Every structure is written in C-alpha cells, then in structure tokens.
Structure 1
Amino acid sequence: MFETETFLAAAMLPALMIAFSAGILSFLSPCVLPIVPPYLAYMGGVSVTEMEGDRAARRRAVLAAVFFVLGLSTVFLILGAGASALGRAFASYRPYLETAAGIVVVIFGLHFLGLFRIGFLDREVRVEAGDQGGSAFGAYFLGLAFAFGWTPCLGPILSAILSLAGSQAEIGKGIFLLGIYALGLGVPFLLVAAFFPQMKRPMAWMKRNMGVIEKTSGVLLVVVGLAMATGYLTVFAFWLLEALPFLAAFG
C-alpha cells in the first residue's frame, strides 16, 4: 500500500491538470472571449486599433493584464482557502459531500451540453470599472470585479474546481489548486495582450466555434463530476502513481 503522503501527491496531479484545463475553457466561454480585446484596450487606456499596430500600446495592455490577472487570482485564492477550510471542517462527511458535489457538476455539464438549460447560468453579466481605465489600480479592481461578476458564466466550471479544492487534505493545496485555475484563465489574457495582432485570427476561429467549445466544457464537467461522485478520481490517482513512479518524489 502506498504511503498517504505519496498518494496525496499523485492525487494532486490529476486535480491540477483539470484545474488548468478548466481555466482555459473558462477563458474560451461565450461571455469571456468576445469581450477580451475591448477590456484589454480599456484597462490599458488605449484603443483596439492601437493594440494592433502600436507596440507601446500593447505594452500598456500587457501591464494592465498583469494587474487584472492578479485581481481575479486574489479572489480565486481566497475561494480556494475557504473551500479547503470547509472541506476540513466536514472531513468526516467528505465521501458524501464529494458524491453530492459530483452530481451537481454533472448537472452543470449537461447544461453546457444542451440537454436542458439552467436559467441563471444563461445570464450575461457586464462589470463596470467606473473611470479607472488606463491605470494599474483600475485593472486590479476590474480583476476583482470580474471574478465575482462572471459567476453565472464561470460558476459551473469553477464549482468543479472548488469541489476538488474542498477534497484536499491541506488548505495550502486548495489554494494552490485555485491558483492553477487562475493561471489557466489568466495566461490567455496575457498572451492576447502581448500578441494581439497574431491572436486575432485564432480568436475569430474560436468565436465561430463557440458551440463546440461549450460542449467540450460540458463533456469535461460530466467526466469530472462522474469521477468525483463514483470515486474514480482516486482510482485514477493510484493508476498515475503506478504508471509514473517518479511522482513519489513529490510525496
């Protein structure tokens, strides 16, 4: 039998993979991707046209994007700490909570797949940042507001990651897990800001294929939810440890 610490190291790996993938899918969601260029331009105090041909404008957009990502990461890290603390408080009921959370995540996945629609998840939210455009403080504030205001859109995927965070044995691991989710969501913002002219064509393709992206998100949620509800996420962790013994070094 594997030592507990070694198992936890292996169990963390699939959770991190899921968290990073979920962050990218959150970025590609219908209520995030379309607003990225105007938001970056606003936060940098430039226009979308200037971002296309002016390197100085793109540098300002990159700086704003960094503070924006720091803002949304702040909220996600706090949520990760809260989910982990809650999971520890109800540790004796963890198997039941994981099953219930898995069922909820599956329901969200079926919503994305279009089998039925959950009304509040279809609401589109816009966050206003007042007159803070063009400043690092304004970008950070908008990142905070973004993390809260886009909950109806990010909620289904975020709920899966928070459920995984709640299942971690240590609060630090839950925080780290949400940090990886924030990384998956935030890095694309930075890439678009830094390479906007080159990213225009890929983003246009993504917009045209929003339906496929949404269904991919649904499949991910259903798979993760079923794995959580049935305990197969744990089985997968053990399989990883057997297939990749070097993971024991992280124990």
Structure 2
Amino acid sequence: MRRALLMLVILSLLIPLVSAGTVKYGNLSFHDVATDKELQELVSSNEGRYFFVFYHSESCPACNYMKTSVFPTATAEKALNGFVLVSVDVYKGRSITTLRYRVYDPVLVIQPENAGYYRPKTPGEEISVGVPGTPTMVVFKAVNGTMVLKGVAVGALNPDGLAYFLEKVTEGEESQTATQPGEQKSSTQGVSEASEGRSNLGLAVLLPIFSAGIVSVFSPCVLPVIVGTLSLTFARRKVEAIIAGMVASFALLGALVGSLGGYASQIQGALYLIGGVGFVVIGASFVSERVSTRMERLLSFSATDRVASKRGIAYDFALGSALGATWLGCIAPYVGFAVITAALSGDTLSGVIVMGTYGLGMGFTVYLLTASKDLGEWVNRKFLSGRLSLSGKGKARWEQALGVILILLGLMMLTELTPLKLWSSLFESLSQL
C-alpha cells in the first residue's frame, strides 16, 4: 500500500513536468519558452529548421484573437506545418523580448500601418530585434547554431494574412551560411526601428520633454538673466538665430547620447543603472537646494564670451549654441530628464528628436519673454518679486513634488536590474491602455 501511494506521488510530480513546456492553440503545440537557455536548446536541437516565435500577453485582446480564432483554423495549421512553434509570454520571458539575429537577405517587416523590407547593410549583419507591441511574430531559421532572421510581423494577422506572411518569408533559401562565432559583428538598430522607430516617440513622451524645456527657463539662474540684461542683448540681435542655435546645441547633445542606442541590447543593464541613478539625483536636486547648487557648480562653465560681442547671423547662431551649453549646469535638473530619455530612446535620430523637442520648448519660451516687453515685466513682477520664490527655503512646491516623482521613477528603473522589473511592468501596463 505504501509503495502504491509512493508511486502515485511520484507520478503526480512527473506528470506536470511532462506536460510543462508546451501550450496548445487549437491543434498546434507551441513550446512555452521563458529563458534564453530554453530557446538556445531548441535552436541547437533543430538545425536547419524554421522557427515561428509568437510573443503575447494575457491582457492583449489581439493576442487572444490569434490564439482562439487564427491558430485553430485549417489555414493556419497548414501554413505552420513544419515550423518549430515557440510561445513567449512577454511578462514571463522579458529576457528574450530582445534578441540578436543574423541577416543575409531582405527581411519582411509587417506593421499595423505599413509593410516593407529591412535590407542588411552587410551580409551577415547582426541586429537586435525587440517587441514593440503584442502580438509580435518573428520567423527565423536555425543555421549553424545561429538565428537567421527572415520576417517580423507586429499586430494580429487573420488566417490568410498569416499564411501569406509565412509564405513570403520562407521563399527560397539563403545563398550564404551564418558567420561562425568570433567573426565580424555589427551593432545596429533593430528591424522594428528600421521601419518605424523602436522608441515609439509619441505625444505621451514628447509632450513632457517639451514641457521640461519650458519649465527650465524658470530656473533660478536663467530667468533673472533673460528678463533682465539678456533681454537687452537679444534686442540687438536676431533672436530667431539665437533660438535656432540653442535648439541645435541640444539636438547635438541628443545625437551623442542617443548614439548609444545601437549598443543598447549589450549595455542595457548599464543604461538602466545610469538612468535610475540619474533620475534619483535629478529628483533630489528638485527637492534639495543643496544638491541643486552642487550640480550647478559641477556642470557650469561659460562658452559665450567669445561670441557675445560679435554681430551677424552666424555669430547669433553661435551665441545660441553657446548659451545652450553654458546653461547645462543651471538647468541640469530639467534637461537631465530629457537627456536620460534620449539615451534610452534607442538610436541617434530619436535622441535628436527628444533633445530637439526639449530645445524647442526652451527656445519658444525664451522667444516669448524677450519679444514681449509686457510679458517680460509681468514675469519679472510675478516670479522675481519675492511672491513666488524658485530657490532657497521657498522652493516651489511643484518642484518638490516633481522631484519626488522623479526619485520614484529612478527607483523603479533600478528595479530592472532585479527580478522585480517594475519599470517594464509600468510601461507594459500603459501600452495596454
């Protein structure tokens, strides 16, 4: 009797292990994968075969449509016959939502608004492909232990659309084999960025950046200068050229930090560490006057002296660029938010867009203050008369509240280095709204 009970216990433990690792959608069995190790084991044991990777989440209606109305159809079953089917829940398998692939031939990319091909810059180019939304379907072929990318589809496809996608990405065979480990690797933007831009810089991202540019003008060491002596200086110059120079200087800074995006998949942990600590420090500078003063001293320098006394549109443009650089220390708590966003945006162009948007916000506000004498006097009276102090013990409450929010965001970003990953969870939830 005891032996029988022992056997039943063992069987009850083994049965889940046998059934674990697979999930069925209709008659199709998918390997349920959550780690890079599990995926690599599948790749190494299925040499020469095509893989179909289905990224999904439980809260995604379009994913449920694929699971219940597409995969169970005869059309989908026929189209997926012969593929190694892989299912990845993006919440459980975050570590494999960005993978690196080899590219030899044009890769078909299908997105909700358009479709096109990503063409490799060099044969065997290595690129990163992320998951811009769910569902995302990736097709690759296992060649000599490497993953050779064939196609990416973002968004739900009906049965005929799925069949068409699979037919197109498997037409013909590669004329070259994958490069052996240790040979040339080039870090580039992923396929998703090649067609639409990986960072998805929508209004929800750019509006706060633009607002940060506006608010930065009201920094304690910028506003008095603008509404005072600098207004007189601007009055004798081409204000538009100065503003253009300011925007250009910030856009250049965005290009420099955004250029890290090509290596983001390799140094993602470092970016989250830098970004998290940066948000905390910036938030602390909003809350604490002592921290803010130290940041200003650390980052302040003057680059305006050489061009301030000269005239001409070129010198006006140079003056604006110099002012943008000179004010970095003063506006660090404000511009830092935009810089961190640019660094995590994913590519050089996105960095330019982010910091350019910040520069437009700041430049637009400077233009209004210097172009209108009445507005300048009103700002001087309201903000600089002592009724509303922007520094010292009277630090504005909105600055303190914003500082606390930035500190919390920084701490959330730092959790990306732990299993909690609160930053990813937050934006995954927002993406479903």
With the length of structure 2 as denominator, give the TM-score of the two structures. 0.46
d(CA) in 2 for partners of 1:75, 1:150: 11
Query: CA contact under 8 A between 1:25 and 1:217: conserved in structure 2?
Result: no
**Counterpart position of 1:202:** 379
Which aligned pairs between 1:122-161 and structure 2 lie closer than 5 A? Answer: 122-123=296-297, 127-128=304-305, 129-132=307-310, 135-161=312-338
> Are the structure 2 counterparts of residues 194 and 10 from structure 1 closer, same or farther at C-alpha, using a change threshold of 3 Å?
same
Structure 1 range deviating more: 196-205 or 168-177: 196-205
- Find the partner of 1:172 among 340, 349, 362: 349
1:178-193 equivalences in 2 (<5 Å): 178-193=355-370
Residues 149 and 16 of structure 1: CA distance in aligned 2, closer, same or farther (over 3 Å): same
Pair 1:162-2:339 in alignment: yes
Secondary structure at the aligned position of 2:368 is classed as helix
Whether the 8 Å contact between 2:246 and 2:323 is mirrored in structure 1 is: yes
C-alpha distance 185-233 of structure 1, shift in aligned 2 (>3 A): farther
What letter matches 1:104 in structure 2? G
Letter in 2 for 1:23: G
Amino acid at match of 2:407: V
Instruction: Give the Å deviation of 1:163.
Output: 1.6
Counterpart of 1:44, as a letter, is: A
Write out per-residue CA displacement over residues 19-45 of structure 1, whole angstroms, 9 at most, x where no aligned residue: 112212211101111111321321332
How many angstroms apart in 1 are the aligned matches of 2:265 and 2:282?
A: 25
Unaligned runs of 5+ in 2: 1-55, 57-133, 137-153, 155-191, 417-421
CA contact (8 A) 2:286 2:292 kept: no
The answer to whether the Cα contact below 8 Å between 1:10 and 1:241 also exists between their aligned partners in 2 is no
- 1:39 aligns to what? 230
Change (3 A) 1:115 1:226: farther
Q: Which amino acid aligns with 1:107?
A: V
- Counterpart of 2:291 in 1: which secondary structure? coil
Give the corresponding residue for 2:211. 21
Matching of residue 98 in structure 1 with residue 272 in structure 2: yes
Change (3 A) 1:43 1:76: same
Q: Assess, with a 3 A threshold, how the Cα gap between structure 1 residues 226 and 181 changes in structure 2: closer, same or farther.
A: farther
The structure whose residues are more often helix, as a share, is: 1
The amino acid across from 1:31 in the alignment is C
**1:36–1:189: 8 Å Cα contact kept in structure 2?**
yes
> Is structure 2 residue 259 aligned with structure 1 residue 85?
yes
Alignment pair present for 1:112 and 2:302: no
**Greater Cα offset, 4-13 or 24-33:** 4-13
1:229 corresponds to: 414
TM superposition score normalised by structure 1: 0.75
The separation in 1 between residues aligned to 2:289 and 2:225, in whole angstroms, is: 27
- How much has 1:113 moved relative to structure 2? 1.0
Post-superposition offset of 1:111: 2.5
Which of structures 1 and 2 has the larger relative contact order (alpha carbons within 8 angstroms, sep 6+)? 1
Q: Please give the secondary structure, in 2, of the residue aligned with 1:92.
A: coil
Where do residues 55-94 of structure 1 align in structure 2 (5 Å cutoff)?
A: 64-94=238-268
| Shift in Å, 1:107 | 1.7
CA displacement at 1:115 relative to structure 2: 7.0
What is the letter of the counterpart of residue 26 of structure 1?
S
Q: Is the 8 A contact 2:258 2:347 kept in 1?
A: yes
2:226 touches 2:366 (CA, 8 Å); kept in 1? yes
Greater strand share, 1 or 2? Answer: 2
User: Cα offset for 1:180?
Assistant: 0.9
Amino acid at match of 1:33: L
- SS of structure 2 residue aligned to 1:31: coil
Deviation at 1:218, TM superposition (A): 2.9
- Asked which structure has the greater CA Rg, the reply is 2
Aligned 8 A contact 1:69 1:143 in 2? yes
Q: Residue 308 of structure 2 contacts residue 319 of structure 2 at CA under 8 Å; is this kept in 1?
A: no
Deviation by residue 1:138-192 (Cα, 9 ceiling, x = unmatched): 3212111111112221223323322211112332112111111111111101111
Q: Secondary structure at the match of 1:75?
A: helix
Cα gap change, 1:75/1:171 in structure 2, threshold over 3 Å: closer, same or farther?
Answer: same
